[in-house]
Chains A and B, each alone.
Chain A
Amino acid sequence: MAPPPATAVADAMNPPARPRDSQANIDIMAVTKGFHWPWLIALLFALAGVGLAAATLAWQTYEGLGVAGYQAPVFWGVYIITFVFWIGIGHAGTLISAILFLFRAKWRNAINRGAETMTVFAVLTAALFPLIHIGRLWKFYFLLPYPNQRYLWVNFKSPLLWDVFAVNTYLTISVLFFLVGLIPDIAIARDRAVGWKKVVYTILSAGWQGTGQQWKAHSRAVLHLSGLATPLVLSVHSIVSWDFAMSIVPGWHATIFAPYFVAGAIFGGFAMVVVVMVPVRRIFRLEPYITDYHFENMSRFILFTSLICGYAYGAEYFIAWYSAVEFEQTSFYQRAFGPYWFSTWCMIIFNVVMPQLLWIKKLRTNIPFLFVLCFFINLGMWFERYVIIITSLSREYIPAAWGLYIPSLVEMIVLTGSFCWFSMFFLLYLKMFPIIAISEVKELDIHARDHARDHAAHASGGAH
């Protein structure tokens, strides 16, 4: 290891009046500084939405779950749909951070922080929904295997219990991963902060000095956490999918569900990254860091996972037909042509048909188009869960008990509130921590510089 520059020790002992900053530091930290009208308006909207949803939920808790639109035989509704939706959104972050890290896809560095942030807040949002869904949220601790004098224990056969563990594990690892990655950048924020903020950042930066040893430990930690997080990307949504696949409900009981859900989650997650990062990049002028190249790479991912989803949709219908089981056939016929045809065709058009436009390179780098497309993909992914949950439940084994579910206003408010809740955290984050991993972007610069130097050396060597 090269010794630190001679000035480093002097700087540490006598900080200069004005920190020496790289352009990246200045640009990226600018997001947290100053005043941005769009940001404030968005935050106010988000706060209003959260407040309304909180009041609605308080009312629901007081009155009972009946204020939601549940109608037998559909016992799961918008809350579970939204839970699965947000868990799905929470996939792209870890995929980008962990898997692409392990694959050394360096282009990820510009977007990984945004994606990780999104993951953490998405999972936090998702984790609320099981509580909202059961109505009596104070009973939630029953789902945890805690020792008690009544020898009550949980049912490890139930996929819902696996779900509790899967989501909690995922949340823990995501938060750890996110926080560890954030440390060097918090240190940058610390160096620029004054007053009480400085105290907070100092604590959060955990004594980061940027020494070689610290960098070494940090990169090892990231590597190991990546290794831990990678299987989780696959496991969480697989387990969420087993909530359905392990049941006996026609339309749910399918072996394809785990890969189908994981692909769908990555698909929806990437779409959400695009939806979130496009306005952030525009408002905070981050075009030099998040370039069209990044969006194009994400588009490729979206196109690829869209094909997997399309295959899964097709496979479901094929198997329903091929099985010759009347229950399955009716369930799928009703999906496409029953009272919920609308949601099914939304799902197919938004998730499979529209992304095919990404075969065209011009559209892959057309940011407004991507934004609109990804918005629809997110809608389509929400409808995918709607189709799976609602249409299947409404057409089960006993025709006499068939029914129809229509979400109530309460559920729509809470659904909207979940987006506001997510946005609120994201917006607050924007003003507190760098949205782009500064150190990793610099790493890219260094890498590029080294690369150029090697090229130059090579070129000059060649000239010999």
Chain B
Amino acid sequence: MSELDRREFLKIVGLSAGAAAAAGCSDPAEKLIPYVIQPETITPGISVDYASTCLECSSGCGLHVKTREGRPIKLEGNPEHPINRGRLCARGQASLGRTYHPDRIAGPATRSSDGTLQPISWDDAKGKLAAKLGSDAGKTWILGGPVGPSLDGLLDQIVAATGIAGRLTYEAFGDHALLDASQQLFGAYAAPIFDLSGADLVLDFGSDFLDTGRSPVEHARQLSEGRDVAAKADGGARVIAIGPRQNLTASNADLWVTIRPGSEGVLALALAQAVANARGNAVVAAAAAGASKNAAIEASGIDAALFDKLVGKLSSAARAVAFPPSVAAATTAGRSDAAAVLLLNAAVGAIGTTVRYPAVDAKRTASLADVKALVGKMNAGQVDCLLIHDLNPVYSLPASLGFKDALAKVGLVVAFAPLADETTEKANLLLPDHTPAESWGDASPRPGVRSLVQPTIRPLFDTQAMADTLLAAAQAVGGEAAAALPAGSWKSVLQANWSGTSWRHALARGGEFGETATRGVALVEGLGGVQASAPKLAGSGDFTLIAFPHSFHGDGRGAALPWMQEIPDPVTKISWNSWAELSHGKAAELGVTFGDVVTIATESGSIDVSVFPRGGIPDDVVALPIGQGHTVGHYASMAGDEQSQPGVARGVNLADVLPVATDEAGGQAFLSTKATVTKTGRFRRLALSQWTDNQRKRGLAPEVSLYDLASSGGQEAGGMAHFLAASPASAEEHAAEGGEHAEGGEHAEGGHHFSGPPFEYDPGNDADPDQPYRWGMTIDNDKCTGCSACIAACYVENNVSIVGEQQAIKHREMTWLRIERYVGDGDDDASLDSERRPIPRGERLGENKVRHLPMLCQHCGAAPCEAVCPVIATYHNDEGINGMVYNRCVGTRYCANNCTYKVRRFNYFDYGRKNWPGLLGLMLNPDVTVRGQGVMEKCSFCVQRIEAARQPVKDVGKPIPDGAVKTACQQSCPSDAISFGNVRDKASAPVKRAEAAKSRAYAALQVLNTRSAVTYLAKVRREES
């Protein structure tokens, strides 16, 4: 029967309607396409690591780039690399995002007269550049950021061959003052290498060496080793932070000396003199003859007793080291400040031990003074072509320098940046470079350490390595220029530079890591007295403006990376915007509170920014982070915000208010102006991730004094007893303090005085009895500096969504791991009644009671979340892990309410789909589910890494060896604060570590008996401040 009868018709209609409805409801279909010819090195599902180098800052940390199916998805530290030894900071973790960034420039383009970009071909682009180099080389300049030695050499060759007028290598946070001071004192134009291993006293004169300093990962690692209470009976190195603002280093210091801004040099010189006299070092004493204790006390505002205490500590220290000032403390007297600190190092005998000079001099780079000269030439019409690479001068140079206007007078502005920024907006010709993950290159953080950069993905866009572009253009000029240049590509140039080594071996290892060649230096003969002077401050406001580098933004480049916006600043816990720190007193005087917008005006300009009042800052100071205030960029500006506002700055750019001030060496003096602060009456809420820093005596982040630890009888204490016996004076001193303890003073919760039941359960019990594993973690709060590298690692490893400022304001951040920052155990509850957000109040000038508490899912044995889930979406697995079945979750959110640690995160929107714009989704870890809307998520103890470690041993029937599983947070931690492993194995790292430090081991909120799998080790207070 050929005709369609009624029943048949209805069947078909029904079927197709049903199919259409079903298809409409389901998620869009995506295809998995297998390799036609599978590459030899790639097994789908197995990651391949390549060694490379991090180029996010100039520290030069080694990387292992983890790739999956040809895509880099995660960066980890290279364990062989001498700088970072396998660790990586937050900025390094996030830097991979540049490759997949929505701001990527898709290909070469020219800017037409109406300002729009017209794509052109690479041949045309290089032709244009070659024509310019051919005709106007004498009026062509290269302005760029620091690059690796091979590229640097090649650029110099190109400059020489083509007759380019000049090349400036400029770094906003350059160390010109220190280099000059080294030249002046020791005749060595080189940046000293500060080595904290073995140091017993570390002074920081405002370089913030743990956070934004010269090599933070290296120094954090060295300090952590040097302060390991298990190994050092006396508690190891002491840290004294000197500076007006409580930065991350001051937060971790044993003693925070609050001084007037800019008085570092005067104080350091007086200390050098006193210490030299005490130690009988006549040479240094002579050099520091110009100093005076009274002048230093006067200038810095500290009292004489504190000065003497510092002298005493410095005089008795066996291996002391002092860090010279860096950005936040860079004054117009920067060179003499640095010289004074170097002299102090000489006075304590650090030169040659903890402070060593590399054998070769550093190359001179351009200072702000040189850039100023270039701007002069641009204004004078002497520059017709400016090539800009690895730098965003339109953003970062002080606005009053007039670079932007001068740029308009340059005929051809060529930008090589791979990501759109303020400078590419002004460029006429865009020749986008590869990102580091797509590039060849090298780095040499110090003589003897050479590190390779190798591409791990084929370029995603139509980009070309800057070196290749320039080389091709220069070769196209022809004639003598071409002849003087190396033939071939940039890669061949690089290979030629590494010709002395096994290329394959270097690629496999990540470079060549030899001994650092150093030289012995001594104070220059006939060194006149080092003079320290008060810095010049422009303007006449009531406040001194401190511009400090944001922990994650560097000179501003980090602001483009979403993780660096989303992860809260480790000190203030603010994300996504700028803030102005004022003291509580001054804020009250101005009638402003948290979030109120003030105008900060200097002679150079003014900015409007929300206030963050805090205790860790003096009354006459206003401090702002450098790095925000971009007008271009999906994340850096407000373009990618919920209310998308392209072209509107996110936060403020300090270049708008900083004057063009330089130190004696020409470097930019960031601490160089006074400012006025006036109330505007407006309010702009900031995303503050932590409500209060008062832990209300809940024992979340307790502290144990060295004395209590020594007398508690644990394994660590074995050494302690020895320490006590060795210093009877201090024992008596502590005994006196012990009397105070009995009175229930501020130490009441320290050590084994924890309130609540003793920590005596065994987390190993909370898993299936037949299973060999119970996964657990030990976190040493004494090592945690709060740097947040772990958070960044967790975001990248676990595909944790970025939610943006508006959602972060609503506390909807998705982070699986946060670092809580408690300041003491304050009793001040006044802030809690505030209608607006309360503000951390525990900070006091000169006091240092900061404790950091990394908080993640505790994988409780008696988890409150598991019992209340009506659908068993969260459950306890056989190996003790508190699992989440995302597909089963209906979103009642009961588990999050019942979670006592508040580590559960809910997908209020379809973050997983919406929040990976452009190609960012390519960076997702294929081993970890991307969570959908309406689903709860939280830390999984990196269960995918456990499974990855299980597979190889499962085949041979062996257990997972201890140390085979490293969680992302643990892997990244520069201070090695985290141990992870099987707590059923009594020989595993977390168990051994907790056992060894039993007297300071505790579980957070142990009074609730959640039987958590995370054992914390309490912070040790080494000094009574």
Residues of chain A having any CB pair with chain B under 8 Å: 63-66, 69-73, 75-76, 130, 133-136, 139-140, 142-143, 152-155, 157-161, 164, 243, 246-249, 326-327, 330, 334, 337-339, 393, 396-404
Contacts and interface: CB of A to CB of B under 8 A. Distances in A.
A424 to B, nearest CB: 28
Tell which of B892, B893, B901 has the most Cβ of chain A within 10 Å.
Answer: B892
B955 interface: no
Contact of A327 (B698, B832, B907): B698
Contacts of B906: 65, 70, 72, 75
Given A396-B900, A400-B691, A339 B835 contact: yes
Interface residues of B, number: 55
B837 interface: yes
Nearest to B695: A399
Given A65-B891, A75-B897, A140-B890, A403 B864 contact: no
Interface centre among A153, A155, A338 (most CB of B within 10 A): A155
A270 B307 CA distance: 75
Given A71-B812, A152-B888, A403-B811, 7 more contacts: A65-B908, A69-B810, A72-B906, A143-B890, A399-B692, A399-B698, A399-B700
B810 A70 contact: yes
The 7 A-B residue pairs with the shortest CB-CB distance in the complex, in nearest-first order: A66-B908, A401-B902, A75-B893, A64-B909, A400-B820, A402-B691, A72-B811
A189 to B, nearest CB: 39
B690 interface: yes
Contacts of A71: 810-812
B44 interface: no
Contact of B910 (A64, A327, A404): A64
B868 A396 contact: no
A154 B900 contact: no
Interface string B866-903: 01111110000000000000001011111011101110
A142 B935 CA distance: 13
A161 to B, nearest CB: 4
A151 to B, nearest CB: 11
A251 to B, nearest CB: 11
A73 B910 contact: no
B821 A158 contact: no
Contact of B1008 (A140, A164, A248, A401): A248
B943 interface: no
B656 to A, nearest CB: 33
Given A155-B869, A400-B820, A400-B821, A73 B811 contact: yes
A400 B896 contact: no
Contact of A134 (B837, B864, B890, B902): B890
Contacts of B888: 142, 152
Contacts of A249: 897-898
Contacts of B891: 65, 134-136, 139
B902 A76 contact: no
Contacts of A243: 894
A160 B894 CA distance: 8
A164 B891 CA distance: 15
A154 B902 contact: no
B982 interface: no
Nearest to B812: A72
Contacts of A337: 833
Nearest to A68: B908
A139 to B, nearest CB: 4
Contacts of A134: 890-892, 934
Contact of B691 (A69, A75, A399): A399
Contact of B693 (A70, A143, A400): A400
B765 interface: no
Contact of A247 (B822, B898, B908, B910): B898
Q: Name the residue among B818, B832, B905 with the largest chain A CB count within 10 angstroms.
A: B832
A148 to B, nearest CB: 12
A133 B700 CA distance: 32
Contacts of A402: 691-692
B934 A65 contact: yes
Contacts of B871: 142-143, 152, 154-155
B933 interface: yes
Given A135-B934, A400-B820, A158 B870 contact: yes
A326 B1008 CA distance: 12
Contacts of B902: 72-73, 396-398, 401
25 contacts: A64-B907, A64-B908, A64-B933, A66-B812, A72-B810, A72-B813, A72-B906, A75-B894, A134-B890, A135-B933, A136-B933, A142-B890, A158-B867, A247-B898, A249-B897, A326-B698, A330-B696, A338-B832, A339-B833, A393-B897, A397-B698, A397-B902, A398-B820, A400-B855, A404-B837
A154 B872 contact: yes
A337 B890 CA distance: 35
Contact of B892 (A133, A153, A248, A393): A133
B1005 interface: yes
Given A396-B902, A398-B700, A160 B892 contact: yes
Interface in B895-925: 896-898, 900-902, 905-910
Contacts of A72: 810-813, 896, 902, 905-906
B232 interface: no
A394 to B, nearest CB: 9
B35 to A, nearest CB: 32
A212 B729 CA distance: 103
A73 B893 CA distance: 10
B834 A339 contact: yes
Contact of A136 (B834, B837, B867, B890): B890
B844 interface: no
B934 A160 contact: no
Contacts of B691: 399-403
Nearest to B902: A401
B586 interface: no
B392 interface: no
B544 interface: no
Nearest to B701: A400
Nearest to A152: B888
Interface string B826-857: 00000011110100000000000000010100
Contacts of A339: 833-835
Contacts of A399: 691-692, 694-696, 698, 700, 822
Contacts of B901: 397-398, 401
A126 B1008 CA distance: 33
B400 interface: no
B697 interface: yes
B807 interface: yes
A247 B934 contact: no
Nearest to A133: B892
Centre residue among B818, B891, B1005 by max chain A CB count within 10 A: B891
A393 B698 CA distance: 17
Contact of B870 (A154, A327, A398): A154
A330 B833 CA distance: 12
Contacts of A157: 867-868
A64 B820 contact: no
Contacts of B898: 247-249
B514 to A, nearest CB: 45
Contacts of A143: 870-871, 890
Contacts of B896: 72-73, 75
B811 A158 contact: no
A338 B833 contact: yes
B934 A158 contact: no
A164 B893 CA distance: 15
A402 B693 CA distance: 10
Contacts of A160: 868, 870, 892, 894
Given A143-B890, A248-B1008, A155 B835 contact: no
B890 A139 contact: yes
Given A334-B832, A398-B855, A247 B694 contact: no
A142 B818 CA distance: 32
A161 B870 CA distance: 5
